[in-house]
Structure 1
Amino acid sequence: MKVRITCVLCPRRGVYRLVRLAVRFGADARLVDVLHEIAKDCPYERKPWQRPPRKYEARCGARFQDIAGSPRAAADVPAGERAAD
């Protein structure tokens, strides 16, 4: 299975194999930590020691394309097991 990561602010895109992410970050890694590590070179990403962005300042727009509020069901879920819309 593959995981797609896109940015809503810039043209950055990436496709990662889930198995490789599990090997790299551990099977119990939180998705937010994986996303932060992958997008750490984003010009909008804030470092832990920096102040948080203000209300109208740009923030890193990296997102898991197929998860995080996506209206479409994930591709690996069989049609019979998808929640009714």
Structure 2
Amino acid sequence: MPYPKKTIDTVQKEVANGYQMPCPLHCGQEVYSVMSGCWEKEATRRSNFDQILKSLERILEKTHNYLSLNDLDEGLYASTLDM
């Protein structure tokens, strides 16, 4: 629950007035920045799915350099949808 102890009405009013939840304690600043990009009031300034995906991939690669999604050969894995 992103807004504990607040009613739906209160949350709707606060968000409409520009309130954004603060960065959770367990959340890194880079991830919070991605989250904040989704909350832009003007729709054209909001992050789109591709931007979010690229940002999260960059964070994952930087934080855990043992995994590089850019080098993933998708042909090596079968999808259950293909079976």
TM-score by length of 1: 0.26
Name the structure where strand makes up a greater proportion of residues.
Answer: 1
Say which one has the larger Rg: 2
Name the structure where helix makes up a greater proportion of residues.
Answer: 2
TM-score by length of 2: 0.27
